[in-house]
Amino acid sequence: MKKLTHTINRGYKFRFYPTQRQKELLKSYFGANRWVWNKALDYCSTYYSKYEESVSPIDFSRELTQLKKLEPFEWLNENPATTYGQTLRDLTSAFSKFFKDGYGYPAFKSRHDNQSVRFQLDQRIIHRLYEKGKFIKPSKAFGECRFTWSRVPKGIPKMMTLSLDKTGRYWVSFNVEEEVSVLPFTHSKVGADLGLEHALILSNGKKYENPRFLATKKAQLKRLQQRLARQVKGSNRWREIKRRIAKLHWTIGNQRRDYLHKLTTELIRDNQVIAAVEDLNVKGMSSSAKGTIEQPGRMVKQKSGLNKSILDVSFGSIVAMLEYKAKFYGREVIKINRFFPSSKLCSCCGEKVEAMPLKTREWTCPSCGEHHDRDVNAATNILNEALTPMGGGKQKLAA
């Protein structure tokens, strides 16, 4: 039987080891594109405050062309002009997310942040990408871009991003279109509830532990932050400790991503429908409880600890991974309304209890007498709600 396939857009990221000359070129590219981003952002903000009309960052390209002719800005001609266009497109996308999707207003970039520059690749020579151990040449002046291949992409990239993170590591990343096989159909469907004691609880009773990667490194992180506070800001030792803190956060992030990838891949492989995860407002859940001077918050320290636990388990990443992997491999993820009382409903008779404090981990239904594990019961209710037409279920299993 022939496998079903479809085309997806997959991203790749590899460690990059530039030569000393390439490091100097990248420093120039990063600085020039950071300047273009900040100048274009200031241009758009000033124009709106003066005329109360929005202007696209792409319109700044005309201003940039004129600036490059002036003597103080001739250094802009030393860097690839195509990278400036990509920077302006990125800023345009940031403004679009601000106006349409409710993201924060675009911020000015600092040399202390992660640095990146995007190149448009020459499609006539990109065939070298298919041969393991070969290189990509983003531009003639930059030369060959050699990096460690952990996987060989099957598609042809059109753009390539070179970046430098806070730990001092260089990276190359790009997207390609690839053909992937849809996983064999299975009648298995499962509901999933996100938690703190366990990262994920399934309606079939299976529970995935929460490794608490940030909590395990808490003492080490605290010592480094204390050492940083005692250093002279801007000194070599201060920079070194900052780099070590960034490296520790990088390690924690890698451990978390590795665990979540394994968890979500197992769910996608074993189930046709993941009637999962309420549409949670993670930003609201992890917001500060400090309040204001007029109305100070209550239990601020306890809420701060809860916020760290929520961010450590990374609810948003679990949902995002499930969604894109389901799209890749022909599965379905259904999200239910965040206000659905999954914990308060009896999954057997539908009885709703009025109060269910967080400390209650097990309870008995006053109507039918069924004893419930709080999290497994919530996951079962999520599954039942998701498969109803009102709950968002598309009834694909009927086919």
Of 120, 188, 109, the residue nearest 158 (C-alpha): 120
Tens place of pLDDT for every residue, the chain, 399 residues? Answer: 567 888 889 999 999 899 999 999 999 999 999 999 999 999 999 999 998 888 889 889 999 999 999 988 999 999 999 999 999 999 999 999 998 887 889 999 998 888 999 998 877 666 555 555 566 778 888 888 877 778 888 888 889 999 999 899 999 999 989 888 899 888 899 998 888 888 889 998 899 998 999 889 999 999 999 999 999 998 999 999 999 999 999 999 999 999 999 999 999 999 988 866 655 555 554 455 555 555 565 655 555 656 666 677 788 888 889 999 999 998 999 888 878 888 888 988 888 888 888 788 888 898 888 899 989 999 999 888 888 876 554 433 333
Residues belonging to the active site: 193, 278, 375
- Cβ neighbours, 10 Å, residue 120: 15
Taken in order 364, 370, 375, 380, the sign of the CA dihedral is: negative
Q: Looking at the chain, list the stretches that DSSP marks H as alpha helix, in order from N- to C-terminal side.
A: 20-51, 60-67, 81-100, 213-216, 218-229, 236-270, 282-285, 300-313, 315-329, 374-386
The token duo for 222 is 């605290």
Give me the phi and psi of 276, to 5 degrees please. -110, 170
The token duo for 248 is 């520790």
